[in-house]
Structure 1
Amino acid sequence: MANDFLLEIGTEEIPAKFSPGAMKQIEEQASKRLAELRLNYKELQVYVTPRRLALLVRELQEKQEDLLTEVKGPAVKAAYDTNGSPTKAAQGFAKGQGVAVEDLFVQEVNAVPYVFARKSEMGVGTPALLPQFAQDLIQALHFPKPMRWGDLDFRFARPIRWIAALFGTDVVNFELVGLKSGRSSRGHRTLAGDEVVIGKASDYPETLRKAYVIVDPKERKEAIQTQIKALAENVGGEVPDDEELLEEVIHIVEYPTALLGEVAAKYMHLPEAVITTPMREHQRYFPVRSNDGKLLPYFITVRNGDAFALDIVKAGNEKVLKARLEDAAFYYREDQKIPLSELVAKLGKVVYHEKLGTVEQRVDRLRKVSRFIAEMLGFEGLRKEEIDRTAFLAKADLVTLMVSDFPELQGIMGADYARASGEKPEVCQGIYEHYQPRFAGDGLPVSEAGRVVSIADKLDAIVGAFGIGIQPTGSQDPYALRRQAQGIVAILLDSGWDFSLTELLKEAYRVFEEQGTSLLPIDNILLLLQDFFQQRLRFVLLEQGLRYDTVDAALAQGGDLLNRVVKKARTLSEKRTEEAFIPYSQAYTRCFNLTKKEPVQDLRVSLLADESELALEKGIALRKERFEKAQAEGTFEEAYKLAGELVPLIEALFQAVMIMVEDVDLKNNRLALLGECVKMLGCIGELSILA
């Protein structure tokens, strides 16, 4: 027999961003704890709305599975005497396990006979287990910013106001945070009465639906998408996919009703981002576009309620957006009265960080680091001028009225105002792009100016933060340093630029010093910074599907030239699947193991006597110039091919001579020869750490 089990945790409105994580936790915790309790079920369903978290377990069995276990006791020789009678050891073991001594049986473990007891544990009825299960589940949930309320020490996403718990038609009784569980829930805050009585667990979704609550977020999502599509088509438009906004809207409504609003024509001359940012970021509206992507004078919003008085709701939303756009239009007019370049001086009054100076000082650092990068890349003349101008103007829009009210538009407005001020298109594009990538999945800068200034901007933030002792720890990264380092790595890999990351870090640090900023000594943070970037590169390569040990083998030889590391890792990943790699890696391992504990010696050709030694040295010498050229150019496949040609010669050496002979000079010279082999065979990574 089986019955459905319901647990609903009723709360004050939960922030939308908490809901997806809470659903995942409930499913994971419930399945784990039910398995531990030996309770089988057909299906777990997790529901969430702004005012509730709910678990519905379909066809949960009414009794635990019986448990039959075999417990190992003492060895037979200790359990029985020479007459075959049970000893005190056997008697004590049997008593401890609650079985008769004559019920013990013998079973071998690793060819040694032991006595065992077979224990049977009867399953407990499910109703007796559910109260503790429910309490444990609620207490196991964690949230990014939990709250306490009243005089309780308990923390939760938001204060809990009711708990419903049913097994079939019966209430699962328990008490938590001063609340007693029951069969009462709450419907929609404005459309339903104060209390909704749930007759039985299986009726939960439909009972709440009658109270204007759609508990399944998937169902709410489908309803919202269908309504949005129909409304947009009515005006000849469409709403492009926006999963992030849709996910948020799903979790701020319990009974969705979409409505179409209009944007006053007089605001449509504003830049698109100025119109859509208040819509999306502030009001959670979906902008409507034509089939060719042009912004139309409409928006769609989703009401938490039914269609009653929808015209009034529509008018209210239009009024709110109008006020926002009126402000934006005023800001746009006023901002353009001053050329963007004249705003840079005002950045001296804006503090970037109390320990790192003003934004004006930061702009000075960006220009110097950007020029340094441009020189590393061999850029000259006009290209350098455009990069410098981009860095000079990159932060000017921070003191505009528009960005002060709509910070999401930084960079976007800078590019627009730069165009209005007559700046070159390359500079305008660079200003816009230097913030990219802003988030995971965002596009990368495509212009040279955008790429260079983006690297300089992110590098300044990272070196400055590390320099004043701010580093990401665990899940804590308040300055988004990981994302910024990830952005630098992505730009470098996408562009193919292969300059020294260490030199870049040192230059960024030097510019801080030049301004008189007090940072931790460079020796204290350089290794931390290098490792920080290596970890970001490691993450990128793992995301691309490379094996962890392949990535670690490539990084073990240093990650200063990121593109070289990537080429090396990809070459290793490809070659290790080939049959020829087996003897190659074995040769490397033998050479490496013999040389790793010995001091490095220079090879003395005059001491080579055996034909196998001479042949190997000649093989190395014939290939060395081509090998070093391949290494320098980063053509690791060619370097691997040349090194692989030494493998038969290395095998012949090991068959012909002993390396660790008593003659010290001979031993050291042979080790030096193996050391040369290690250098060549290790051209695609530290192979000794491969799993």
Structure 2
Amino acid sequence: MAKHLLIELGLEEMPAYVVTPAMEELGAKLKAFLEENRLTFTSIETFSTPRRLAVRVRDLADMQTELIEEFRGPAKRIALDDKGQFTKAAQGFVRGKGLTTDAIEFRPVKGEEYAYVTKHEAGQPAAEVLQGVTAVLKNLSFPVSMHWGSHTFEYIRPVHTLTVLLGDEALDLDFLDIHSGRVSRGHRFLGTQTEIESPDTYEDNLRDQFVIADAAERQQRIVDQIRALEKEHDIQVEIDPDLLNEVLNLVEYPTAFMGSFAPKYLDIPEEVLVTSMKNHQRYFVVRDSQGRLLPNFISVRNGDSQSIENVIKGNEKVLVARLEDGEFFWREDQKLKISDLVAKLKHVTFHEKIGSLAEHMERTKQIAAYLADKIGLTAQETQQLERAASIYKFDLLTGMVGEFDELQGIMGEKYALLAGEDQAVAQAIREHYLPLGADGELPASKLGAALALADKLDTLCSFFSVDLIPSGSNDPYALRRAAQGIVRILADFGWNLPLDRLIADLYQFNFASLTYHKEAEVLNFLLARVEKILAPAVPKDIRAAVLSGTRLLVPQMLATAAALVQAAQTKAYKSAVESLARVFNLAQKAHSLSQVDPSFFENQEEAQLFTAVVELQLGADAAENLAELFALSPLIDAFFDQTMVMVDDQAVKNNRLALLTALTDKAKQVADFSRLLTK
């Protein structure tokens, strides 16, 4: 008879960012455990709060399914000797399966008989199989772990309870020094220890102890409460998804409330207020119907509404302290001069192996000047970019950024404008940090994009030069993010700067502060980021073909990959790719570079292919390039039908290889067609 299974692990409060991933991992690993152990079920539900991870399995079979496995062994002529007795080969075969030679039967396979055995393994009761389920808990992965007590075992937080119920029965298990039962813990302040009656009553038993175990239910309760406050006070609340998920995993019994602060603080830049509320206090921002910031905030208490007035006052007091800091730094920073701050950057370390921020900025300035020429900035834009590159890190020494580091760049723009800097310069200062994440917002202006490129390129080359290269998942200096930002900016602005030429040019620069090293590694690192961008939608062979091309222009590489994906759905794709791949493969046999000499042609197919190659012009449109190359397929096929390339006459052979090489050289500007799969 099927029963429901409940497993709950009770811990000390986990960091908010850990809770949801850990809940999902527990569900996935338990599913794999049950499937591996042949225990069938209908569904798995996951639960989590800051102090618990839980999973409920619906309709878990009371017994494992029977295991029936069939194995083929040696051929009969090997399994039996000339007296008809089983050989050592046959005996070893069955021994390895835990059987005897009595289980062997012979069956014909393609004209020859082979030994077969069938192994039956009876199913074990679910309660016995579940004795091994603590391995699932033990093998959960966490970004950080800790020791406690006398344990050498590391876990995200100390474990207090383990509840394992199979139907109404509490299973007898041990995890660390915790013995399982049916006891769980309620809310830290409002609840007590409680017994879980059965898997079906789990949510209700905890709700009686002021715990909402279902994360989705808890989230909906928070949203509903915020919407009720909106309606009550005629306000608009920004429910940021990331903030909502964080708050969700900070509370077990949510109660939303609205607080306020003095309107005078609205004179502080909005970014400071929002950062103070969202990033530091986990408050939701409140606006009026026109979207203007109001002197209010929404927070969520971990508890009920009792004495909520005192909670509101406490939160208001904490927020005002942050706003006082913001107001002070805003006022004091305006007394500083940009030139003085820039001068002090020579005393601020970029990295101990690389040098100061001032030296980093000087290298960035030279790269920015190079980029200005390559991307075709006007004289005015070039001058503006030079100014931005000369000062763009100055806000790191302001009090505001020192207190609120999330505002770097943002405050740089504001202070630059207050100091009379050009709007384009100020915007570039803010945008040079973008994108902040793999899929984050990109710079909107050409100047911001150019400065971001220059800054990231020097960062990448500098860290690689001193052997601070990411390995595995370890990337403490966010170099993968920088490289991905470079690739995305090039793609977004359509700047056709060949990656190989770009990096080679940078390595020709003479900097007083640093000499770049590891050119090839930097280029490969950037190409790996291109592949990562392609990976979700582009098959592996197409990615390899595009990345092996000779024209490493990011916008065209992405467009070519998309064009190949689309072309692969057409009937003409297979024959066209195979024709071009044949050209590529034969062209590899050319041992020397030589010009094609039409006087060596022996048939019209050679001449026609030669004319087509000479006339082939590849442009910026990836789909058109592909169409032009695919259109050569009939000519290529006719050439091979009528022409033997590897003939004895060395001059004729070399001329034909030169023709194929000429076509390969042009085609490889698009992709290496020999890497494409057509089967």
TM-score norm. by structure 1 comes to: 0.92
- Structure 1 residue 428: Cα displacement: 1.7
Matched, 1:124 2:110: no
Return the letter of the residue paired with 2:490: L
Q: Are the aligned partners of 1:267 and 1:325 in contact in 2 as well (CA < 8 Å)?
A: yes
> What is the aligned counterpart of 1:689 among 666, 675, 678?
675
CA distance in 2, matches of 1:534, 1:464: 18
Equivalent position SS for 2:535: helix
Q: Counterparts of 2:61 and 2:585 in 1: how far apart (Å)?
A: 59
**Equivalent position to 1:358, from 327, 349, 356:** 356
Deviates more, 1:638-647 or 1:591-600: 638-647
Q: 2: CA distance between counterparts of 1:97 and 1:348?
A: 72
Instruction: Give the match's secondary structure for 2:236.
Output: coil
Q: Distance in 2 between matches of 1:260 and 1:550?
A: 54
2:324 corresponds to which residue? 326
Q: Is 1:562 matched with 2:554? A: yes
Q: Which residue of 2 aligns with 1:547?
A: 539
2:513 equivalent in structure 1: 516
Q: Distance in 1 between matches of 2:362 and 2:557?
A: 32
Structure 1 contact 348–360 (Cα < 8 Å) conserved = yes
Distance in 2 separating the partners of 1:91 and 1:538: 52
Looking at structure 2, the residues matched to 89 and 436 of structure 1 have their Cα atoms a distance apart, in angstroms, of 66
Measured after TM superposition, the shift of residue 482 of structure 1 is: 1.0
Specify the SS of the correspondent of 1:161: strand
Gaps of 5+ in 2: none
Aligned equivalent of 2:69: 69
Q: Which residue of 1 aligns with 2:177?
A: 178
Q: Secondary structure at the match of 1:157?
A: coil
2:649 is matched by which residue type in structure 1?
D
Of 337-346 and 421-430, deviating more is 337-346
Seen in structure 2, the aligned counterparts of structure 1 residues 327 and 85 have a Cα distance that, compared at 3 Å, is closer
Query: Which residue does the alignment assign to 1:30?
Result: 30
> For residues 546 and 93 of structure 1, what CA distance do their matches in structure 2 show?
45
Residues 148 and 155 in structure 1, CA contact (< 8 A), matched pair in contact too: yes
Deviation of 1:212 (Å) = 0.8
Find the counterpart in structure 2 of residue 651 from structure 1.
637
Aligned to 2:232: 234
Contact 2:551–2:669 under 8 Å retained in 1 = no
Task: Give how far 1:486 is off.
Answer: 1.1
2:451 is paired with a residue whose SS is helix
Range with bigger deviation, 68-77 or 146-155: 68-77
SS state of the match for residue 514, structure 1? coil
Q: Deviation at 1:111?
A: 4.3
How far residue 508 of structure 1 moved from its aligned partner, in angstroms, is 4.8
- Change beyond 3 A, Cα 1:673–1:372: closer
| CA 1:101–1:539: 2 relative to 1, 3 Å | closer
* Aligned equivalents of 2:89, 2:565: Cα separation in 1: 57
Between 264-273 and 500-509, the greater mean CA deviation after superposition:
500-509
Partners of 2:98 and 2:471 lie apart in 1 by 51
1:452 aligns with 2:484: no
**Alpha-carbon spacing, 1:91–1:561, altered in 2? closer, same or farther (3 Å):** closer
Cα distance in 2 for residues equivalent to 1:63 and 1:356 = 63
C-alpha displacement of 1:567: 3.3
Amino acid at match of 1:609: E
Higher deviation after alignment, 366-375 or 648-657: 648-657
2:285 to 270, 284, 287: 287
- Alpha-carbon deviation of 1:91? 7.2
Classify 1:676/1:87 alpha carbon distance in 2 versus 1 (closer, same or farther; 3 Å): closer
The residue identity in structure 1 corresponding to 2:603 is: D
Contact 2:438 2:484 in 1 (8 A): no
Quote the Cα distance in structure 2 between the aligned partners of 1:169 and 1:252. 31
TM-align CA RMSD: 2.4
Q: 2:255·2:300 contact (CA, 8 Å) conserved in 1?
A: yes
Map of 2:51 onto structure 1: 51
- Worse overlay, 547-556 or 565-574: 565-574
Q: Deviations over 1:391-444 (max 9, x none)?
A: 223111111111110111111111111111122211121112111111244321
Q: Which amino acid counterpart does residue 664 of structure 1 have in structure 2?
A: Q
Partner of 1:571: 563
- The CA distance in 2 between the partners of 1:175 and 1:618, in whole Å, is 79
d(CA) in 2 for partners of 1:273 and 1:392? 25
C-alpha displacement of 1:640 = 4.0
Counterpart amino acid of residue 291 in structure 1 = S
Number of the residue aligned with 1:340:
338
Q: CA deviation at 1:40?
A: 1.0
* Inter-partner Cα distance in structure 1 for 2:36 and 2:403: 53
Paired residue secondary structure (1:252): coil
**Distance in 1 of aligned mates of 2:416 and 2:95:** 87
Alignment of 1:557-636 (within 5 A): 557-558=549-550, 560-602=552-594, 603-621=596-614, 623=615, 627=616, 630-631=617-618, 633-636=619-622
Whichever residue aligns with residue 579 of structure 2, its letter is: A
Q: What is the match of residue 532 of structure 1? A: 525
Matched residue SS, 2:18: helix
SS in 2 for 1:268: helix
TM-fit CA distance, 1:38: 0.8
Preserved contact between residue 551 and residue 569 of structure 1 (Cα < 8 Å): yes
Residue equivalent to 2:647: 661
> 1:644 Cα shift?
4.1
Give the aligned partner of residue 142 of structure 2.
143
- In the alignment of these two chains, the number of paired residues is 676
Aligned to 1:301: 299
Partner of 1:467: 465
* Conservation of the 8 A alpha-carbon contact between 1:534 and 1:559: no
Gap change, CA 1:94 and 1:455, over 3 Å in 2: closer
Q: Partners of 1:57 and 1:637 in 2: how far apart?
A: 51
Which whole-Å CA distance do the structure 2 matches of 1:99 and 1:557 have between them? 57
Deviation (angstroms), 1:165: 1.8
The one-letter code sitting in structure 1 at the alignment partner of 2:597 is R
Task: Name the aligned partner's letter for residue 650 of structure 2.
Answer: V
Q: Which moved more, 1:235-244 or 1:70-79?
A: 70-79
Conserved in 2, the CA contact under 8 Å of 1:369 and 1:456? yes
Distance 2:24 2:139 in 1: 12
Describe the superposition over 1:262-303 as per-residue Cα deviations: whole angstroms up to 9, x where unpaired. Answer: 121110111111101011111100001223322121110111
CA separation in 1, counterparts of 2:333 and 2:44? 56
The amino acid of 1:10's aligned partner reads: G
How far 1:96 sits from its partner (Å)? 7.2
Secondary structure of 1:477's aligned partner: coil
Contact residue 368 and residue 451 of structure 2 kept, 8 A? yes
Deviation at 1:593, TM superposition (A): 2.2
Residue 113 of structure 2: SS of its match in structure 1?
Answer: strand
Matched to 1:175, the amino acid is D
3-state SS, counterpart of residue 657 of structure 2: helix
Change (3 A) 1:83 1:516: closer
Instruction: Measure, in 2, the Cα distance between the counterparts of 1:153 and 1:582.
Output: 59
1:181-330 aligned at under 5 Å gives the runs 181-193=180-192, 195-330=193-328
Task: Provide Cα deviations, 1:543-565, integer angstroms capped at 9, x if missing partner.
Answer: 4x233322221110146322232
Superposed displacement of residue 607, structure 1 = 2.0
Does the alignment pair 1:403 with 2:389? no
The within-5 A match list for 1:151-170 is 151-170=150-169
For the residue of structure 2 that corresponds to 1:68, the secondary structure is strand
TM-superposition CA deviations, 1:338-368 (whole Å, max 9, x none): 2334321122222221122222222222222
Distance 2:555 2:235 in 1: 44
Letter in 2 for 1:356: I
Go from structure 1 to structure 2 and tell me whether the alpha carbon gap of 1:648 and 1:404 turns closer, same or farther (over 3 Å shift): same
Partner of 1:372: 370
- Indicate the larger mover: 264-273 or 116-125: 116-125
Identity %: 37
